[in-house]
Amino acid sequence: MSVVYILWLREVKKYLRSLFTAMFSGIAMLWDRQFGFLKETLVAPVPRLAIMIGRTLGGATVAVLQGTLIFVVTLIAGFRPVSVLAVPLAFLVIALIAVIFSALATAIGSGLKEMQGFQMVMNFLVMPTFFLSGAIYPLEGLPRVLAALTRIDPLTYGVDGVRGLLTGRTHFGVALDIAVLLGVGVLFVAAGAWRFSKIEA
């Protein structure tokens, strides 16, 4: 039982680490704004879309690397994926999760000027997103309201996709999970780019 609990805890921490790292990448932008580095970046002869995408990919890269470390720990603890070929696809899903929430953090951080405001928004956004994702409890048998909320949570599809690829158990289907993540990713990147373009140099 203790081994099962450890593996479950490692799986939860893997999703939580990627989500938190991606979302809190927006704090780096607020730090850059406070110390003037963001202003220097914005006046550079570079399209703002390129700057926003670079920041988003940078935050996503850190999140994926931390998720990789957690995955290695799960392998040491005894977890084995159903197929070695599924591991790269699972990391593709993790990368999509990281890009989505890094872009969301950029969109939110672009409209805020104080660190306290960003932290307050994150507290009201990150934890509900995580608890509704199915990383802690199964999605089957939920009350109707909770089931509806889980379906509009993009992290739900990320968790389901990674779980389906690594363990073979999926709720929505891996193809649907990836399709939803791609659609939400395009939407969030576009929203983040639009909000970032409104920042005054």
Element (H, E) at 21: helix 2-23
Question: Tokens for 186?
Answer: 């395009």
**176: exposed, middle or buried (Cβ count in 10 Å: 0-12, 13-18, 19+):** middle
Handedness of CA 13, 68, 187, 156 (dihedral sign): negative
Q: What is the pLDDT of residue 157?
A: 93
pLDDT at 175: 92
- How far apart (Å, rounded) are the C-alpha atoms in residues 184 and 167? 24
Q: Give the model's pLDDT for residue 9.
A: 44
**Gyration radius from the chain CA atoms:** 18
Tens-digit pLDDT string for the chain (201 aa): 444 444 444 454 455 555 566 666 666 666 666 666 666 677 777 787 887 888 788 878 877 888 888 888 888 888 888 888 888 898 888 888 888 888 888 787 777 666 666 677 777 787 888 888 888 888 888 888 988 999 999 989 988 988 888 888 888 999 999 999 999 999 988 888 888 777 765
Helix ranges, 24-78 (H): 25-35, 37-42, 48-77
The whole-angstrom separation of Cα 93 and Cα 15 is 11
Side chain identity at 153, as an amino acid letter? D
| d(C-alpha 114, C-alpha 34), whole Å | 8
Chain centre to alpha carbon of residue 108: 14
195-199-201 Cα angle (round to 5): 160
Q: Which of 88, 106, 100, 144 is nearest to 30 (CA)?
A: 106
Cα 183–chain centre separation: 14
CA trace torsion 123, 17, 132, 127 (10° rounding): -10
